[in-house]
Amino acid sequence: MKMSSIAMTNLGFFLNEGEFYEHIRMKKGSRRALPIERILESARNIPKPKVLYRVSEAKIIDATHFTLDGVEFVSEAGVEKIAKSTYVFPNIVTAGREIENYCLSRENVLDQYIIMELCNFACEFAREALIRDVRNRYGVSITDCIYPGEDGFRLESGKKIFDLFENVEDQIGVTVTEMGLTTPSRTAYAIYFG
């Protein structure tokens, strides 16, 4: 039985400015930070981070192969993590097209840099929202994760995470290439374990 997926598309992005300025090593309110404050003022409400996830039924085939809802993956680390987990949550989180398109429309290098960092914060905001939702909805804490391209989990196998969802582009505005590259680029797809 295929579980339905959960799309979170109205997350209400909020930028933690303290963390942001610390991350870019700048003192908020300083003269050097003025151009950054101006950029953030115009861009802070643009990000519309989004999440798509589901609970999957995991089956271990052998030491390196497993399936999620019948879709086969190759990852030794994935098999080990499934063996220790009760729940498996394939997911896609994204900063959203809105902020990335805005970034691509900027010509100033400082604008591009600050807005790309804002994209990173929006993607992390989506990831934190996913973890909170899993805790609230299922009473489960995320204990581990595996990202395609890391830990021997190859991209060509990992991008099959997209096969577990229907209409990803319609739901959260994300597409993936044969090579496993996403648009928007500030998108992460992974398998979480709880």
Report the pLDDT value the prediction gives residue 2, as an integer from 0 to 100. Answer: 53
The Cα 23–Cα 160 span in angstroms is 33
The Cα 26–Cα 14 span in angstroms is 19
pLDDT in tens, the chain (194 residues): 456 899 999 999 999 999 999 999 999 999 999 999 999 999 999 999 999 999 999 999 999 999 999 999 999 999 999 999 999 999 999 999 999 999 999 999 999 999 999 999 999 999 999 999 999 999 999 999 999 999 889 988 999 999 999 999 999 999 999 989 999 999 999 999 99
Q: What CA–CA distances, in Å, run from 3 to 38, 64, 68, 168? A: 45, 24, 11, 15
Report the pLDDT value the prediction gives residue 156, as an integer from 0 to 100. Answer: 87
The Cα 96–Cα 118 span in angstroms is 11
**Sequence-ordered alpha helix ranges (H) in the chain:** 17-23, 34-43, 76-83, 97-104, 109-138, 155-158, 168-172
Tokens of 2: 């295929």
Report the pLDDT value the prediction gives residue 1, as an integer from 0 to 100. Answer: 42
- The DSSP result for 103-145, as a single string, is HHT--SHHHHHHHHHHHHHHHHHHHHHHHHHHHHHH-----EE
CATH of domain 6-193: 3.40.109.40
C-beta of residue 193 within 8 angstroms of C-beta of residue 144:
yes
The Cα 3–Cα 125 span in angstroms is 25
The Cα 67–Cα 58 span in angstroms is 6
Report the pLDDT value the prediction gives residue 3, as an integer from 0 to 100. Answer: 61
The domain limits of the chain are: 6-193
